[in-house]
């Protein structure tokens, strides 16, 4: 069990331009999607480059409980072997992992027997009802509207069809339905109806990975149809997690130095790839080579504020908000009202922590407005058990001495060893 009261971590301050190359582990989003598809496959699969973190461990444990064989290679922990098995009654611990709580209820609908879901105390406040109502509309018995809840499946041939879901709270509602759809006897058509659909690149990733597994997917405007059919086992090469790379690239912008991330894919559906254009807009220089991305910060240390619609790339908001706090002109980040339902209310959390350090940050109906401040100072930065809040505080600490992160260990959710990596980068 993690220490519930860890000593605050003193975020190191950069004393000059950084020069660093940082490898980051595999994408959490790709790892957990690949694990689900492998568990539903018609033959065994192998994941290479898989992420080992709290979120992925929770997914592995849940799939084992549901009947899949999931074995981590002892010599190569980033290699995971998955053997499909009959889905059965189970108890699933979601922790605080959105991918577990949103991807596995549709899969549980195919199990023989009830499947009970629960998770961390904070997880019980995260939006779930649109997904659970969608399952009900597809003929699945669901008890409860949020964690804890129970899903009782029916014979696969009897479920499926067309469902309308308001996914404005999370694109994971759509992805969860699509990932299991090939195993539903009538397939699934998902239509989004509601406010703006956030994080579209994540749905594009789901569609791409389904097709790579052999599924037939028809994608239209806010509507997706997955035909019933088999999913092929095979090998999955997991890309580095580009969203987890962004704090390190942000360190280059803050320090006026250069940070390189090797293994950057030539083409990707990851939202983190968008950080290249954001870095340019904020005054950085981006160099793309066949196998890496390098970012160099402005030599004078002056970052430009930005006006950004972040509706498709909301997970980058804490990194960009930290940079905006240190910028010389105002920033407006919008299209991210859905972040109020993430690991914590990220908009309220960012406003509270930035202003607590002397920054100027105000919430808008769908985002944040961050203005330059000459009164930034050290203090305790609360992480709210949110990995991206913790890394945002570390970015500000590069320039503001005395910043302490109250629970840096929460970064193990998607990036184990973050503090060690960060300290090594700053030491050079």
Going by their DSSP bridges, the two strands 112-118 and 149-152 should be labelled as: antiparallel
Question: What's the count of helices (H) and strands (E) in the chain, helices before strands?
Answer: 12, 23
Residues in CB range of 56: below 8 A, 6 or more apart: 28, 31, 32, 35, 50
Q: Which residues are annotated as a binding site for phosphoenolpyruvate?
A: 28, 98, 126, 172, 346, 388, 413
Question: Tokens standing for 66?
Answer: 């549901």
Q: Which residues are annotated as a binding site for 3-phosphoshikimate?
A: 28-29, 33, 170-172, 199, 315, 342
DSSP secondary-structure letter at 56?
Answer: H
Q: Which residues are annotated as a binding site?
A: 28-29, 33, 98, 126, 170-172, 199, 315, 342, 346, 388, 413
Of 239, 312, 315, 343, which is the active-site residue?
315
Tell me the Ramachandran region of residue 426: left when phi exceeds 0, alpha when psi lies from -120 to 50, beta otherwise. Answer: alpha
Residues in CB range of 414: below 8 A, 6 or more apart: 28, 51, 53, 54, 55, 241, 244, 387
- 315 annotated active-site: yes
> Mind giving me the DSSP string for 173-239?
HHHHHHHHGGGSTT-EEEEE-SSPPP-HHHHHHHHHHHHHTT--EEEETTEEEE--------EEEPP
Return the active site residues.
315
């Amino acid at each position: 069990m993690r220490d519930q009261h860890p000593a605050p971590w003193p975020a190191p301050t950069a004393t000059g331009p950084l020069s660093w190359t940082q490898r980051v582990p595999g994408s959490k989003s790709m790892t957990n999607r690949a694990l689900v598809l492998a568990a539903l496959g018609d033959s065994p699969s192998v994941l290479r480059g898989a992420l080992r973190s709290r979120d992925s461990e929770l997914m592995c444990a849940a799939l084992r409980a549901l009947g899949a064989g999931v074995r981590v290679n002892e010599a190569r922990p980033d290699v995971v072997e998955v053997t499909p098995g009959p889905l059965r009654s189970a108890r699933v611990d979601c922790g605080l992992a959105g991918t577990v709580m949103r991807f596995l209820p549709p899969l549980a609908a195919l199990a023989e027997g009830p499947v009970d879901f629960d998770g961390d105390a904070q997880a019980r406040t995260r939006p779930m009802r649109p997904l659970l109502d969608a399952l009900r509309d597809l003929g699945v018995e669901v008890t409860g509207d949020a964690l804890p809840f129970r899903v009782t499946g029916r014979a696969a041939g009897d479920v499926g069809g067309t469902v309308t879901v308001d996914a404005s709270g999370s694109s994971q509602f759509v992805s969860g339905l699509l990932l299991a759809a090939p195993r539903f006897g009538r397939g699934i058509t998902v239509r989004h109806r509601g406010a703006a659909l956030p994080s579209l690149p994540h749905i594009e990733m789901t569609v791409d990975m389904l097709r790579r597994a052999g599924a037939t997917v028809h994608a239209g405007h806010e509507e997706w149809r997955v035909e019933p059919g088999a999913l092929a086992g095979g090998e999955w090469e997991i890309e580095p997690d580009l969203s987890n790379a962004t704090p390190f690239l942000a360190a280059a912008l803050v320090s006026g130095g250069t940070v390189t991330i090797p293994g950057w894919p030539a083409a990707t559906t990851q939202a983190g790839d968008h950080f290249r254009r954001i870095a340019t807009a904020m005054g950085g220089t981006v160099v793309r080579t066949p196998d890496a991305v390098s970012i160099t910060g402005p030599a004078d240390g002056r970052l430009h504020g930005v006006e950004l619609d972040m509706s498709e790339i909301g997970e980058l908001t804490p990194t960009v908000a930290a940079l905006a706090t240190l910028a010389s002109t105002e920033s407006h980040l919008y299209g991210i009202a859905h972040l109020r339902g993430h690991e914590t209310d990220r908009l309220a959390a960012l406003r509270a922590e930035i202003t607590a350090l002397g920054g100027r940050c105000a919430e808008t109906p769908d985002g944040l407005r961050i203005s330059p401040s000459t009164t930034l100072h050290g203090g305790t930065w609360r992480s709210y058990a949110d990995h991206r809040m913790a890394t945002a505080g570390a970015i500000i600490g590069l320039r503001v001495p005395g910043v302490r992160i109250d629970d840096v260990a929460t970064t193990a959710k998607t990036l184990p060893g973050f503090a060690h990596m960060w300290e090594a980068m700053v030491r050079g």
